[in-house]
Structure 1
């Protein structure tokens, strides 16, 4: 019976802690803005990588693109 009492106290304490922090998860920046920023940065990084890869391939002598 002491195990059940212990688990009850632990769960009650944890729920009280979670209720106390009612502001958790509220961000001043909306999720859509964060996602847009991540997509924007990923697009820039992808473009830079593609540019570097093209420059690298053009540096190979006698290189022709496959048809």
Structure 2
């Protein structure tokens, strides 16, 4: 039972320290997760822009040789 009490006290103390020092800029989400999310969204946006550009370019009629008058 003393191990459970020790873990409880240690966890409670650490959470109190984190709440007290809230001005440090600590975030509940790690920076790596935020960066991964931004890269993921940027990849999707780039892929959509590329697909739209390819569709637009494929919609342009092919060049045909003009006939002489």
TM-score normalised by L of structure 1: 0.60
Tell me the alpha carbon deviations over residues 30-66 of structure 1, each in whole angstroms, 9 at most, x when there is no partner: 0000000000000000000000000000000006xxx
Q: Extract unaligned runs of 5+ from structure 2.
A: 1-19, 64-69
Runs of at least 4 residues off by over 2 Å: none
Tell me the number of residue pairs that the alignment of Structure 1 and Structure 2 aligns. Answer: 43
Q: Extract unaligned runs of 5+ from structure 1.
A: 1-20
TM-score normalised by L of structure 2: 0.58
Distance in 2, matches of 1:55 and 1:61, equals 12
